[in-house]
Amino acid sequence: MPLPKINSSEEAIKLEDQHGAHNYHPLPAVLSRGEGVHVWDVEGNKYYDFLSAYSAVNQGHCHPKIVGAMHEQASKLALTSRAFHNDVLGAYEKYATEYFGFDKLLPMNTGAEAVETAIKIARKWAYERKGVKETEAEIIVCENNFHGRTTTVISFSNDEDARRNFGPYTPGFTKIPYDDPEALEAALKANPNVAGFLVEPIQGEAGVYTPADDFMQKAKDICSKYNVLFMADEIQTGIGRTGGLLAVCGHCTCEAHCERQETYTKPDILILGKALSGGNYPVSAVLADNEVMDVIQPGQHGSTFGGNPVAAAVAVAALDVIRDEQLTQNARKMGKLFRRLMDDYIRESNIVNLVRGRGLLNAIVINDSPESTTAWDICMALKENGLLAKPTHGNIIRFAPPLVMSEEQLRDCVNIITSTLKQFEK
């Protein structure tokens, strides 16, 4: 059956409403095309994309190199399952492990699956290497975390919408406050059965909460002291987004592609997704060194699509683009400029309290209650003015454009944002 042609946004929204589950509340923009930092709706209106599919599209929409790699591989061999080998997976694993500095990679598809994988590895490591008694392993997580939507992952969320009526919940998780090394140390001291500390280097969904500069290193040191795995969920923050190859790279100042500089805090388990494919295909991965990864043996974990040749080819191309186009460096530069220009505005503003973030992962906090519709209304007005962004947690608006943004485009975007905000000043 040929797909019926959609003639208006209204028509497309109605179809979704009638035939699709209502598990999202999207802004009413119906997009039909994307290129670089721009997307177009079915009426032909052009927008700057300031969400980048939650930081999956770091390399920009429909990057020709990534799309080319995907086409080429898809027309040659798309899926073998892991019952057999394919001639792309090993090369991808070699490339990606060297790129990020780990011994081994376990390929999955979505972010939540990769988080589940990391949890399984950490638990198994605790039983087989640390000597924790079976079924007693504990994983420490942070309040207001976001790690995905599976049953186990929502078991340790404190977002009521994400959790309510999905129980019984998976046990084995303890929550501590974010950005609180003392709380982490107390939790590890109190419980010898802790397998890992699972943490976002910046809490994206929670509203781009950016911890103290030394939080990652302190957390890692505490984990090392108590023989606990430091597990970094860099699904949103990783791959150039925050101005380092990873957010655990901290405030790197290297001008070349992210080398292992002094400020780098190496996780024991690194979780990647989203921009690992530039948003072209679901590709996620867990990386670790041998002493951790080797606890997983045949039959103990897997996925039919994980490590498929298309995913492998797409991921290599996506990582190439980050390096070749120096997108990490651009994110750092453009991010600094963005926060400086926004700060200039905010100083005189009643409607915005602050801008925070790192690289091109930023958010503004609106001066109104989280229950108000002000942030939503601002996003609707931004849409009218040609820029797409989405509120998170009521009164926070996240700004995360593709990293291919030029300075001229960024200044244009700041003008759109500030002139829109002016309409809302009290």
Ligand X SMILES: *Cc1c(COP(=O)(O)O)cnc(C)c1O
Which residue number, 198 or 352, has a Cβ lying nearer to ligand X? 198
Q: How many helices (H) and strands (E) does the chain have?
A: 14, 15
Which residue, among 126, 119, 118, 106, has the nearest Cα to 228 in the 3D structure?
126
Greatest pairwise CA separation for the chain in angstroms: 64
Q: What's the N-to-C CA distance of the chain in angstroms?
A: 53
The 220-259 contact track toward ligand X, x by CB under 6 A, reads -------------x-xx-----------------------
Measured between alpha carbons, how far is 132 from 334 in angstroms, rounded to an integer?
A: 46
Residue 388, SS3?
strand
**Which of 147, 241, 339, 383 touches ligand X (CB under 6 A)?**
147
Two tokens, residue 328: 């990490």
Two tokens, residue 426: 């009290």
CB of 59 to ligand X, least distance (A): 17
Catalytic residue of the set 218, 274, 383, 390: 274
Whether the CB-CB separation of 284 and 92 falls below 8 Å is answered with no
Whether the CB-CB separation of 67 and 33 falls below 8 Å is answered with no
274 is catalytic: yes
Two tokens, residue 70: 């995907």
Is 146 among the residues that bind ligand X (CB under 6 A)?
yes
Kindly identify the residues of this chain, within the stretch 259-288, that bind ligand X according to CB under 6 A: 273
**Which of 200, 206, 334, 356 touches ligand X (CB under 6 A)?**
200
CB of 422 to ligand X, least distance (A): 31
The 346-365 contact track toward ligand X, x by CB under 6 A, reads --------------------
Kindly identify the residues of this chain, within the stretch 101-130, that bind ligand X according to CB under 6 A: 110-112, 115
Catalytic residue of the set 41, 180, 233, 268: 233
Which residue number, 237 or 349, has a Cβ lying nearer to ligand X? 237
CB of 205 to ligand X, least distance (A): 6
305 is catalytic: no
Kindly identify the residues of this chain, within the stretch 28-57, that bind ligand X according to CB under 6 A: 54
Measured between alpha carbons, how far is 292 from 32 in angstroms, rounded to an integer?
A: 43
Which residue number, 41 or 233, has a Cβ lying nearer to ligand X? 233
Catalytic residue of the set 100, 146, 156, 305: 146
Which residue, among 198, 277, 194, has the nearest Cα to 230 in the 3D structure?
198
Beta pairing, strands 229-233 & 269-272: parallel
CB of 315 to ligand X, least distance (A): 14
CB of 147 to ligand X, least distance (A): 5
Handedness of CA 139, 396, 45, 12 (dihedral sign): positive
By CB under 6 A, the count of residues binding ligand X is: 14
β-bridge partners, 285: 107, 272
CB of 222 to ligand X, least distance (A): 21
Q: What is the SS3 string spanning 285-312? A: EEEECHHHHCCCCCCCCCCCCCCCHHHH
**Which of 60, 148, 278, 307 touches ligand X (CB under 6 A)?**
148
Stretch that binds ligand X, among 69-77, 143-151, 156-164, 375-383 (CB under 6 A): 143-151
Contacting positions for ligand X (CB under 6 A): 54, 110-112, 115, 146-148, 200, 204, 233, 235-236, 273
> Which positions are annotated as active-site residues?
146, 233, 274
